[in-house]
Chain A
Amino acid sequence: MERQAVQRAREAFLSGRTRPLEFRLQQLHALQRMIAEKETEIATALKQDINRSQYDTPLLELIGIENEIKLAIGKLREWAASRPAEKNLLTISDEVYIQPEPLGVVLIIGAWNYPWALTLMPLVGAIAAGNAAVVKPSELSECSSLLLRALLPRYLDKDLYPVVTGSVSETQELLRLRFDHIVFTGSSPVAKLVMEAAARHLTPVTLELGGKSPCYIDKNCDIRVACRRITWGKFINCGQTCIAPDYILCEPCIQGRVVECIRQTLLEFYGADPKCSPDYGRIVNQRHFNRIMGLMEGYTPVVGGQSDSSQRYIAPTVLKDVPPHSRLMQEEIFGPVLPIVTVSDMDNAITFINEREKPLALYIFCSDKKAIKKMIAETTSGGVTVNDVMMHYTLNSLPFGGVGQSGMGRYHGKHTFDQLSHHRACMVRSLGMESVNLARYPPQNRRRARRARMALTSPLIDMSKRTLVWAILATIISLGLVIALLVILLIAAGLNCTCWYWRGFYN
């Protein structure tokens, strides 16, 4: 069944109907309509999957997708146009440009924590780039996946954008087939299997993985505001976000204050009993619930800690003085449990972060610009937000992606278009001007070789600083000379005019 869907998508792609921009725009408009018209159904599906609150759905998923579609529709012509490239002396009369082209059939494997955003945002870029796309939503968010399978063919081209549902065996079946690019969002162990499968067909991959995103709070910053922002980011979607702040690093002297501020904020956000708040989510399934409860074993939380297995509810929980080698600090938590690890100072925090795998996101709360600059320069991560959390994800002009174990490749906005396109280098020459080419043909002698060297290696524009300075000086001087000339001419003309005027006056 998967094989047939992929085969149909490939045939549809080879028919060439995704090439015209009008077709791609039409599909994007249709997708936009789908999101607008089916918001309620999507919200219901998410409520059943993950107990997502009514407002979290647009907030966390739909606004992002809407913005992506709007941007793609507005900018598609610009993105798909040929991009001129720098020439040299030999190619001065040629057309030299880069043409973005579709890759072919793209496979998009989504995740369960944001089942709509993480499948549809790459899909927007795939459509914009002119590809066909096979969408494989996660089976863990079952209602969303079935809804997507029902909705997408009603709005988009049925053959070009099939939805394939199923679990491990269906995914493995899909991965045996050949694609032109695979976009995978999920965990590292599965990513390794995806990459290995892709290797058989030499398929490039974009991997959006996770990791433990550290959150450093400097002792000299507005802790109240910092904690409010961190609390928002950590407990949204019940902590099941790849870029959620995984753990806090701070000095022991402010640990108490941090805990208090988080406790206060939790009260503001979800009330005294988060279980009753319509805005607080649940853990996706029993296995993850048990996993997160297991991580907390042996620790006494200072905030929260309550749970209810029947509802898969875990209260927003904070633990302090967590040892760096504890289980909590070995794997990505992906739940509403926030450990605080104390460090002696910022340098210590930097060392701590660098000892671990490169995270998907790094968060720094600090008021000192120099210190912030230092921390950014001495660490690495997929992305950084300073004095807030997760916001770098929301700006689609910023590339979103990981590095090292947190992933490879990037997307959002134009970056998705570029990631799912092939940038073809094009040189259009003419058969004329053959005399110029003579220098490179055998039989070779010193004179020819010298001429060839010169033609092929001299850049059209000398980019050195010295030339730039001379160019600017020359322009200023010549402008000055032109102005001087104009002034002289004007004066001369003026004198002439006034002569006439005075003559007239006296006459």
Chain B
Amino acid sequence: MVTLEPIIHLSRELLPTPKFFFGLTTNRSRVGHLPLEKMESQSQVLERLRTAFESGVTIPEKFRRTQLTNLMSMIKDNEEQIVNALHKDLTKPKFEAILSEVDIVMNELHYALSNLTSWMQPEYVSKNLATKLDDCFVRREPLGVVLIIGPWNYPMQLLILPMIGAIAAGNCVVIKPSEVSAATDNLITELMPKYLSKDCYAVVRGGPKETQALLKNRFDHIFYTGSQAVARVVLQAAAVHLTPVTLELGGKCPCLIYGRVNATAAAHRLVWAKFFNAGQSCVAPDYVLCSKATRDALVPALRQVLEDFYGSDIQKSPDMSRIVTPKHWTRLMGLLNRTKGKVVVGGEHDEKDRYIAPTVVVDVAEDDALMEEEIFGPILPILTIESLEESIKLTKRKEKPLAFYVFSDESSVVKKVLENSSSGGFCSNDGIVHMALPGLPFGGVGNSGFGHYHGHWGFEAFSHRRAVMLRGWALEKLNALRYPPYSDEKLSWLRWTTSPKSCSIM
């Protein structure tokens, strides 16, 4: 029997990854303002959802459409409140909030509603001679009661986007918003029961202790977005019940800049992707690898673009986010203080405001403090490596990241990087945008996670693909080939009828 306490204690002490989740103590109000007597216990919530699921209410397409449409109304009607909550939590600029938390969710909802009917259809498969007269298809079925644990950096998007897939697939859903982004947590808890069926969808709140307790229960799928340390704990808990899991983790996303490159255009896109949400994105370019010449062209371009974007006094710009909590701010400042590189852009900070200026550090070595863990902040180290091959080798020495970026005008460079790397996703000459397309699966590999979602992939993540074969009563003579007593003749006929290419005409 796995107990979580020693593992969590161990993960706190031994693992170097940021202690966002379980080790966090904040001054923010955590569990919301609902009076205690009104709150159901976790097991009551789960029992209610399981009974609802077993009643079959989430299965009909109409129900799923209604819930998704209601979710759309929830976002549309409360856009301003959502933006305000995000501003309270992360000082998220309105533009970023709309683009990365409201619009992307609405887009996904439109996509799901447009395609739901086709997603729910049985998928007929190709047959061999022995099964030519049978109906063979794959049926997508809901898994049951699923758990979605959200992070704090995109508290709406990373909670609601998987939820869309789960609802579309016909499951009952328990969502656990991050208590670190407290205002959004409060808002979601308040709004969800007003728009979605209370019997089928529930919000469970709390910190590490409540999450631990929640994980002891049995779910039919767990979807976790967050850090590797906590992911291990989630997986251990899932192993007890043999629950399938989707993990959306992070990693150090490298950004290689080689060959002929338009430094200004590259700088624009790099700055946008890196400093969006103050660098607190799982797919933000974590560090840059380039030659000395490129670096010398890039740094002034970066400086210029930063001024164009945020003005000369970045702290006063309304378009720059803040670090989520003082603890995270301290961690980032720690990295900056320990780095052996040279700060060439930025470096300003303000503890009270949880502000760190967009900072560029050069002459960073592979064993620098900034290269130890995922930065998850507005600090961009540049490592100077002359050859593309050496850069690629460096990235291979590290864990597989969630995204891999390369900036180059030469398609041969792009191709070389693509073929000699592995990552969740890949984008050349830009950052982050590859995850905005619902047609592309979004997910990690290796230490950056497993499983995918977005669009159809989200629907599949929360579905069971059930193979169905409907046979007839006739052709029993054909079946006789497989019955004992056996013979050589029967065997050779059987080999022929079950071969994949047994009859190309049919």
Contact = CB atoms under 8 A, between A and B. Distances in A.
A199 interface: yes
A186 B435 CA distance: 37
B467 interface: yes
A445 to B, nearest CB: 9
A453 B500 contact: no
A407 B249 CA distance: 24
Given A277-B484, A426-B425, A225 B476 contact: yes
B266 interface: yes
A434 B309 CA distance: 15
Given A55-B487, A85-B439, A269-B483, A399 B309 contact: no
A423 B452 contact: yes
A434 B267 CA distance: 11
Nearest to A404: B220
Given A222-B473, A425-B440, A442 B114 contact: no
Given A55-B486, A426-B425, A392 B98 contact: no
A444 B317 CA distance: 10
- State the main secondary structure of chain A at its contact with B: mixed
B422 A101 contact: yes
A279 B484 contact: yes
A364 to B, nearest CB: 9
A204 B450 contact: yes
A218 B188 CA distance: 49
Contacts of B430: 427, 429, 437
A425 B469 contact: no
Contacts of A63: 494-495, 498
A86 B437 contact: yes
Nearest to B407: A431
A34 interface: no
A410 B103 contact: no
Given A442-B309, A444-B93, A395 B437 contact: no
A463 B128 CA distance: 34
A222 B439 CA distance: 47
Chain A to chain B: the 8 pairs with minimum beta-carbon distance, closest first: A86-B439, A55-B486, A199-B235, A442-B319, A195-B239, A398-B467, A397-B125, A427-B434
Nearest to A271: B485
Interface string A85-124: 1111011000010110101100000000000000000000
Contacts of A367: 473
Contacts of A280: 484
Nearest to B429: A429
B429 A380 contact: no
Interface of A: 14, 53-56, 58-59, 63, 66-67, 70-71, 74, 85-88, 90-91, 96, 98-99, 101, 103-104, 180, 188, 191-192, 195-196, 198-200, 202, 204, 207, 209, 221-222, 225, 228-229, 232, 268-271, 277, 279-280, 354, 367, 372, 376-378, 380-388, 391-392, 394-401, 403-405, 407-410, 422-432, 434, 437, 440-444, 449, 452-453, 456-457, 459, 462-464
B450 A229 contact: no
Interface stretch (B135-143, B322-330, B331-339, B341-349): B135-143
B482 A59 contact: yes
A198 B501 CA distance: 38
Nearest to A367: B473
B41 to A, nearest CB: 24
Interface in B462-486: 464-473, 476, 479, 482-486
Contacts, number: 307
B418 A384 contact: no
11 contacts: A67-B498, A96-B434, A202-B449, A387-B473, A391-B471, A407-B242, A425-B437, A428-B429, A431-B409, A453-B98, A456-B104
Contact of B466 (A98, A207, A403): A403
Nearest to A266: B484
A91 B447 CA distance: 29
A427 B427 contact: yes
A200 B11 CA distance: 11
A430 B411 CA distance: 9
Given A388-B469, A441-B272, A59 B422 contact: no
Contact of B95 (A53, A444, A464): A444
A55 B279 CA distance: 64
A200 B242 contact: no
Given A385-B468, A427-B427, 5 more contacts: A55-B491, A268-B483, A403-B141, A403-B143, A457-B110
B244 interface: yes
Among B2, B111, B437, find the residue whose CB has the most chain A CB atoms closer than 10 A: B437
B473 A386 contact: no
A59 B131 contact: no
Contacts of B70: none
A103 B445 contact: yes
Contacts of B125: 395, 397-398
Nearest to A372: B470
B194 interface: no
B265 A434 contact: yes
Q: How large is the interface on B (under 10, 10 to 19, 20 to 34, 35 or more residues)?
A: 35 or more
B426 interface: yes
Nearest to A191: B242
Nearest to B130: A394
A195 B484 contact: no
B439 A96 contact: yes
Nearest to B415: A428
A90 B239 contact: no
Contact of B107 (A199, A423, A452, A456): A456
Among B125, B435, B442, find the residue whose CB has the most chain A CB atoms closer than 10 A: B125
Given A391-B131, A457-B107, A441 B239 contact: no
B491 A96 contact: no
B433 A90 contact: yes
A199 B236 contact: yes
B176 to A, nearest CB: 19
B24 interface: no
Interface in B1-44: 2
A399 B422 contact: no
Contacts of B268: 434, 437, 441
B235 A202 contact: yes
B242 A207 contact: yes
Given A85-B437, A196-B236, A59 B466 contact: no
B265 A383 contact: no
Contact of B471 (A103, A385, A424, A456): A385
Nearest to B427: A427
Nearest to A409: B244
A188 B243 CA distance: 12
B412 interface: no
Given A424-B424, A425-B441, A443 B311 contact: yes
A95 to B, nearest CB: 9
A324 B249 CA distance: 45
B273 to A, nearest CB: 10
Contacts of B485: 269-271, 277, 279
Given A202-B249, A457-B106, A383 B467 contact: yes
B217 interface: no
A202 B232 contact: yes
A382 to B, nearest CB: 7
Contacts of A443: 309-311, 317, 319
